[in-house]
A = this chain, B = another copy of it.
């Protein structure tokens, strides 16, 4: 059976990128590769919307999250962790590993953090050195209001805004320079439509000032080393050569498409998917704050989402993600990132409709698909 990977990372990789990565290896300490590496960093700056260096790490996104903490904070520092899902939780675990004191701002799963709650936490805890947050929380589909939060931190020298944009950068605008973000992280296997294995990270001057004061030990993930080498069109340790070659191909594609069109693809697919499912009575798990990078849909009452997920896999070879922890059995998650297009969104809705009919769920068959396809006409 043909497989359709529709998870919010890893995502389908375009054929032209797979073939680019299948090209013969290039030695990384050659001018030929340095030009490829340099071109990739230039392309990344556009997507990160920054003039700062964007560093390319040979790691998964978690490596860059680790680096964000270990390169800027010190043992005993306090960080405000916005925890509204599995990746918010991960910030807390990283802080714990490094002896950074966690002040947790719990957010109900499926809800965005309230800016005033962040303001209050900062007021109540003057010792906070950094806000650790997701632009888009992959486990719930929530987009947090980064632009609004950045207004609080932009003019404060004493607090960093550290944004895990792994499921955001490339999917929708996260304006590093304009908003005044201090650290922003991206990952290859998300909107960059590559296999996993690369993480991207950019730091503001304020973040580099924190670097100088940080006393946490680091070596492989030492961002100053990466920065110094990036200026010389290379990386301190052996880079993941073929993934960087693929990255360049993706960034060229982004350039041809235009960033606005790239973002629009996610917006339209998101709207179509959510409205399509809503038309047959399935709710958006993150109403009013859903990220356009993925859609998180609640299964109907009395139907375990696991049955929908299993049905999609067995009948259609479609792989969508389920819920974790408290959301297990309640939701399914569909990517709009990666090499997916209108047909993928239509077919997954049709697949869910078919399974819901089998499960005797009461709805108008075909309505989800037709609702979505009308919206997808915008692409």
Give which listed residue, B3, B9, B236, B240, contacts A240 with CB less than 8 A: B240
Is A180 in contact with chain B by the CB < 8 A criterion? no
On whether the beta carbons of A197 and B240 are closer than 8 Å, the reply is yes
Q: Can you list, as one digit per residue, whether each of A236-254 has a CB less than 8 Å from chain B (1) or not (0)?
A: 1111111100000000000
- A186 interface residue (CB < 8 Å to B): no
Please determine whether A99 and B217 come into contact, CB atoms closer than 8 angstroms: yes
**A59 to B58, Cβ gap below 8 A?**
yes
A 212-239 to B, binary, CB cutoff 8 A, 1 in contact else 0: 0000111111100000000000001111
A29 to B217, CA, bound (A): 31
Chain B residue at minimal CB-CB distance from A7: B27
0/1 per residue, A98-110, Cβ < 8 Å to B?
A: 1100000000000
Report how far A258 CA is from B337 CA in the complex, Å.
Answer: 42
A136 CB within 8 Å of chain B = no
Cβ-neighbour of A93 out of B18, B70, B219 (below 8 A): B219
The interface residues of chain B lying within 8 Å CB-to-CB of A62 are: 219-220, 236-238
Q: Within 8 Å CB of A220, what residues of B?
A: 59-60, 62-63, 65-67, 221
Given A58-B63, A62-B220, A221-B221, output 16 extra A-B contacts at Cβ < 8 Å. A5-B24, A10-B26, A11-B25, A13-B25, A21-B22, A27-B321, A60-B238, A62-B237, A66-B221, A70-B219, A93-B219, A187-B238, A196-B238, A196-B240, A197-B197, A240-B243
Indicate if the CB atoms of B22 and A5 lie closer than 8 Å.
no
Pairwise interchain contact B63-A60, C-beta atoms closer than 8 A: no
Contact B61 A238 (CB under 8 A): yes
Taken together as a complex, chains A and B put the C-alpha atoms of A303 and B7 apart, in Å, by 58
Question: What 0/1 readout, one digit per residue, does chain A (188-221) give for beta carbons within 8 Å of chain B?
Answer: 0100000111000000000000000000111111
- Bound state CA distance, A347 and B97, in angstroms? 52
The answer, yes or no, to whether A19 is at the interface (CB within 8 Å) is yes
Chain A residues with a Cβ under 8 A of chain B: 3, 5, 7, 9-13, 18-19, 21-30, 58-63, 65-67, 69-70, 93-94, 97-99, 187, 189, 195-197, 216-222, 236-243, 319, 321
Give the complex CA separation of A93 and B218 in angstroms: 11
Jot down 21 A-B pairs with beta carbons below 8 A, ordered by A: A5-B26, A10-B27, A21-B22, A58-B60, A58-B63, A59-B63, A60-B220, A60-B237, A60-B239, A63-B237, A65-B220, A66-B220, A70-B217, A70-B219, A97-B218, A195-B241, A196-B238, A196-B240, A197-B240, A197-B243, A220-B221
A241 and B10 within 8 A (CB): yes
CB-based contact B189/A238 at 8 Å: yes
Give min CB distance, A244 to chain B, whole Å: 10
Query: Within the assembled complex, what's the spacing in Å between the Cα atoms of A358 and B97?
Result: 60
Contacts of A69 in B (CB 8 A): 219
Q: Give complex CA distance A23, B3 in Å.
A: 12
- A205 CB to nearest B CB, Å: 24
Whether the Cβ atoms of B28 and A219 lie closer than 8 Å is no
Among candidates B18, B25, B195, B217, residue contacting A12 with C-beta atoms closer than 8 Å: B25
Q: Which residues of B contact A58 (CB under 8 A)?
A: 58-60, 63, 196-197
Q: Tell me which residues across on chain B come within 8 A of A24, comparing CB atoms.
A: 3, 5, 12-13, 18
